[in-house]
Structure 1
Amino acid sequence: MAPTDVVSWLLDTDPSLRWQVERDLLDQPPEVWEATRARIPHEGFGARLLDHQDPETGLWAGGAFFPAGFFDDPENLELPGQPWTATTWSLTTLREWGMDPAPLVDRDTVAKLAEHAHWEHDPSLPYWGGEVDCCINAMTLANGLWLGADVSALPRWFVAHRMDEGGWNCEWEDGSRRASFHSTLNVLRALHVHEQATGGSPVLRAARGEAEEYLLRRRLMRRESTGEIVGPWVEHFLYPPRHIYSALRALDHFRERDLRDPRMADAARSVLDAQQEDGTWLQQHRLPGAVWFEVDVPVGEPSPWLTLQALRVLRWWGEG
């Protein structure tokens, strides 16, 4: 495909992807991409995912982070990966697709989840208060702000649970004292949503800045001590990424922040190097686990989602 063919290929997709192409690659006026985005709850992926919400409880798959009854069957613990069908994952997906929250607000989702959603880690904890996992709490903060829930306790939780290096690690409860690329990026994305929604605070902005510096000192992909690639997952671009870090996903965060730094050059080069001759990017990895339905291609095939993300990241980087 020539570059113009790639854009045409991207436009021939679900509204949840197409509106981003119109806004981020074609610079269409807001009335164009907003009209496309407004279609998400009524057709395609968005409508299908909304259909799986329980109208009485507001839950997906009967659970907060795992489907109801998942831990009752010991064989489930032997399966690779985890299910991606429960409530927190479903809300995160709809929010990241850019869906207007109005359909969920109309369904009284916030109140229903406050009553019926119970964290599998500790069912006594209120759903909108989060639990002990940084990545889960990051999704809960962003989803709560999107839906208008009271998640005011979570920003303070993140400040209290930072590692000395400036980032976060979901394994802090097991004794880890080293920051994690994965956890740090997930929290950063949530803090960006918080700042957009509320204006943030000096304390949170300082925490965010130190965490971004943690990644930048490592050039978004390397060990600070040796300069080696921190892990193969850094350059395994995948969609949906769930909680997994990649150089592409990190660059997309900094693009949203419009914060360029020369230390991102290695990561940008790795994205460019992954482009195929036809102008697309391939699905390089898939996370195992149950899904409601597929939203992208198998490993080895050209991915519309990854191609969109890579093109807009490289466009933004090149403009700087």
Structure 2
Amino acid sequence: MPDPIRKWLLAGDPAIRWEVLRTPREQRRIAKEGWGAQLLQLQDPDGRWAHGIYTPKWTSTTYTLLLLRSLGLEPCNPQAIRACRILLDTGFWSDRGINYYPRWQKRSETCISSMVLAVLSWFALDDPRVDQLARHVIEQQMPDGGWNCRALPGYGGATHGSFHTTISALEALLEYERFRPQLAAPARAAQSRGREFLLVHRMFRSHRTGAVVKSAMTRFWFPARWHYDILRGLDYFQDCNAPHDDRLSDAIALLEQRRGPDGRWPLQNRYPGKVFFDMEQVGDPSRWNTLRALRVLAWWQNS
């Protein structure tokens, strides 16, 4: 990492500093200073955020916990654990997934189940239902190796994996693998199949025509919420230290093309919705995107 870029990253929020330094001291600061502390201070007295479980987007309990996970808030943080229990108690369904809309949806939703599994695993919630939830997510994997929330009967009946659902499932199973290593063999196998789904699509292309599936996937957003983009996908590959595969080359080339002349990556867009505060401004150099891009490239060069 170039020294000026490193200094710029270290001048940022404690969450960024922790990502660079990875020391316990820096991680402890996240709950006391900066973005993490602000989010914790905004928790409702009943343990939720914005008085909601999954909505409003992006200030509800689900999306705030996802953001706190991305910020690196310490596992077992009492405020996060309280909110994790609320997510699980409110949505755990008879099929062992998460269903926050039982009045009109009679099965759990795979995107939501995956996102909830990711936060429960990161924050190390000690509850046997977490293991059941992980099995549920694995069971929703499709024959092509991907996942799709619209594969449910009566909810689209999709027969092809979705980039969006797949990346949420992969991230969740990686968190679960680290949380429950003694139970993780099925999660590892499912991830291998899921990575192959992304590789067959070269991370952003149709496996039939080679065309870009959606131009939004080629722009880099943070936080990603439930959306897929190339940088999010590549960051998962480096996070699990996946084997080198030349089918990633197109995505790596695009990532390098997005680097600015000053060696930094901008925040290219933002998903519409409510937020408690903006961490970065669209169009400006982004510490989040630069940090993630540099660690992806370091992994690629060394894999």
Q: Report the TM-score, using the length of structure 2 for normalisation.
A: 0.88
1:65 aligns with 2:54: yes
Root-mean-square deviation over aligned CA pairs: 2.3
Name the SS of the counterpart of 2:31 in structure 1: helix
Distance 1:318 1:186 in 2: 25
Go from structure 1 to structure 2 and tell me whether the alpha carbon gap of 1:204 and 1:111 turns closer, same or farther (over 3 Å shift).
closer
Name the SS of the counterpart of 1:38 in structure 2: helix
The equivalent residue for 2:273 is 289
Distance 2:87 2:199 in 1: 37
Residue 38 (structure 2) aligned to one of 21, 25, 48: 48
Residue 86 (structure 1) aligned to one of 60, 68, 75: 60
* Equivalent position amino acid for 1:96 in 2: S
Conserved? CA contact 2:18–2:26, under 8 Å: yes
The equivalent residue for 2:96 is none
1:34 aligns with 2:24: yes
Q: Percent identity?
A: 37
Name the SS of the counterpart of 1:148 in structure 2: coil
Distance 2:239 2:68 in 1: 18
Residues 16-52 of structure 1: CA deviation (Å, up to 9, x unaligned)? 11111224xxxxxxxxx22111100011101100011
Go from structure 1 to structure 2 and tell me whether the alpha carbon gap of 1:244 and 1:113 turns closer, same or farther (over 3 Å shift).
closer
Go from structure 1 to structure 2 and tell me whether the alpha carbon gap of 1:180 and 1:110 turns closer, same or farther (over 3 Å shift).
closer
Residues 131-170 of structure 1: CA deviation (Å, up to 9, x unaligned)? 7222211111122222414212212212332222111012
Conserved? CA contact 1:104–1:147, under 8 Å: no
Distance 1:290 1:106 in 2: 20
Question: How many residues are paired up?
Answer: 288
Name the SS of the counterpart of 2:77 in structure 1: helix
Distance 1:44 1:249 in 2: 23
Go from structure 1 to structure 2 and tell me whether the alpha carbon gap of 1:219 and 1:134 turns closer, same or farther (over 3 Å shift).
same
Q: Report the TM-score, using the length of structure 1 for normalisation.
A: 0.83
The equivalent residue for 1:267 is 251
Conserved? CA contact 2:84–2:119, under 8 Å: no
The equivalent residue for 2:12 is 13
Residues 76-129 of structure 1: CA deviation (Å, up to 9, x unaligned)? xxxxxxx2000011111111211113432687444455566796412799xxxx
Distance 2:116 2:169 in 1: 11
Go from structure 1 to structure 2 and tell me whether the alpha carbon gap of 1:107 and 1:235 turns closer, same or farther (over 3 Å shift).
closer
* Equivalent position amino acid for 1:148 in 2: L
Distance 2:108 2:87 in 1: 18
The equivalent residue for 1:278 is 262
The equivalent residue for 1:72 is none
Distance 2:268 2:80 in 1: 38
Conserved? CA contact 1:66–1:120, under 8 Å: no
What are the residue-to-residue correspondences of 1:177-196 with 2, within 5 Å? 177-196=159-178
Name the SS of the counterpart of 1:171 in structure 2: helix
Go from structure 1 to structure 2 and tell me whether the alpha carbon gap of 1:143 and 1:107 turns closer, same or farther (over 3 Å shift).
closer
Name the SS of the counterpart of 2:136 in structure 1: helix
The equivalent residue for 2:117 is 141
Go from structure 1 to structure 2 and tell me whether the alpha carbon gap of 1:138 and 1:107 turns closer, same or farther (over 3 Å shift).
closer
Go from structure 1 to structure 2 and tell me whether the alpha carbon gap of 1:110 and 1:165 turns closer, same or farther (over 3 Å shift).
closer
Return 134-143 or 150-159, whichever deviates more. 150-159
Return 187-196 or 169-178, whichever deviates more. 169-178
Residue 146 (structure 2) aligned to one of 158, 167, 192: 167
Go from structure 1 to structure 2 and tell me whether the alpha carbon gap of 1:235 and 1:137 turns closer, same or farther (over 3 Å shift).
same
Return 148-157 or 278-287, whichever deviates more. 148-157
Name stretches of at least 5 consecutive residues in structure 2 with no aligned partner. 93-98
Conserved? CA contact 1:281–1:303, under 8 Å: yes
Name stretches of at least 5 consecutive residues in structure 1 with no aligned partner. 24-32, 68-82, 126-130
The equivalent residue for 1:205 is 188
* Equivalent position amino acid for 2:151 in 1: W
Conserved? CA contact 1:235–1:246, under 8 Å: yes
